[in-house]
Amino acid sequence: MNEPHPSATPAGPPIIELRAVSLDFDDKPILRRLNLRVERGQRMVIMGQSGAGKSTLLRLVLGILQPSAGTVLFDGAALNLASRRQMNAMRRRMGMVYQSSALISSLSVRDNLALPLEELTHKHHAEIDRIVEEKLALVGMEETGPLMPAELSGGMRKRVAIARALVMEPELLLFDEPTTGLDPVLAAVIDGLIIQLSERTHATSIIVTHELTSAFRVATRMAMLFHGRIVEEARPERFRTSSNPVVEQFIEGRTEGPIS
């Protein structure tokens, strides 16, 4: 049992690899020679205390930030060596769901989803409409196209943000705190959606969260970010019983320990 099917063995380079990545903000080290590999098909949950650098790590993966040292590779290609054109091509293969949802408030739901397709592809209006409808249906938000973001609840906005991340059919989905601030039922719905999407589209997901219930629900791998490094990386069942003091403290929510 639990033996991976031969076809499930990852082929080729990891979709994301961070090699000895360091990042300083104003001489303050945030990441220090951090190593992490994310294989295709995984749902990698990255945990860590507030301010640990989780959102920063996602920005490095997106290529919005450049490391002070080290290399970020997407599908085996170093982001820092990519031309602007190559960088744009790589970004199209990634979808990002921001913590704040980050919908454009002056655009309808439909137009929020259509925007990347209009800007980055040569698809016709009818084709764009079809994709928008399809992605809204995937997140259970069909018929909300004409609504404005201000008319949506926080949970609905989150779903629309997920649908928007899907319009370019990305191979890699990045979620920054997808369930933080949602009620437990809605959090479970969003988690279910993340699992369903990754199974249906075979996309790889990196999910940043400090919600333990969500983390254990969605993860196929878990990593703990602490003092600028990944101090533990394992399957959820191994992670839960980790003897790493940082992981233990985080999971048990103890006030005493290495996390001050």
The yes or no reply on residue 30 touching ligand ATP (CB under 6 A) is yes
The yes or no reply on residue 108 touching Mg ion (CB under 5 A) is no
The yes or no reply on residue 180 touching Mg ion (CB under 5 A) is no
Q: Distance between CA 82 and CA 92 in Å, rounded?
A: 14
Token pair recorded at residue 198 = 């990754």
Those residues with Cβ within 8 angstroms of residue 48's Cβ, 6 or more apart along the chain or in another chain: 54, 210, 224, 225, 226, 250
The yes or no reply on residue 55 touching Mg ion (CB under 5 A) is yes
Whole-number minimum distance, CB 108 to ligand ATP, in Å?
29
What does DSSP say about strands 221-226 and 204-208: parallel, antiparallel, or unpaired?
Answer: unpaired
H/E element holding 193? helix 184-201
* Residues in region 9-28 near ligand ATP by CB under 6 A: 25-26
Other CB atoms within a 10 A radius of the CB of residue 197 amount to: 21
Using CB atoms, what's the residue nearest to Mg ion?
A: 55
Residue 12 touches which of Mg ion, ligand ATP, none (Cβ within 5-8 Å per kind): none
Judged by CB under 6 A, the stretch of 48-56, 145-153, 158-166, 251-259 that binds ligand ATP is 48-56
The yes or no reply on residue 55 touching ligand ATP (CB under 6 A) is yes
Other CB atoms within a 10 A radius of the CB of residue 224 amount to: 23
The yes or no reply on residue 135 touching ligand ATP (CB under 6 A) is no
Residue 52 touches which of ligand ATP, Mg ion, none (Cβ within 5-8 Å per kind): ligand ATP
Q: Look up residue 256 and give its DSSP letter.
A: S
Judged by CB under 6 A, the stretch of 49-57, 66-74, 88-96, 146-154 that binds ligand ATP is 49-57
Token pair recorded at residue 88 = 């744009």
The yes or no reply on residue 201 touching Mg ion (CB under 5 A) is no
Q: Distance between CA 207 and CA 105 in Å, rounded?
A: 25
* Residues engaged in binding Mg ion (CB under 5 A): 55
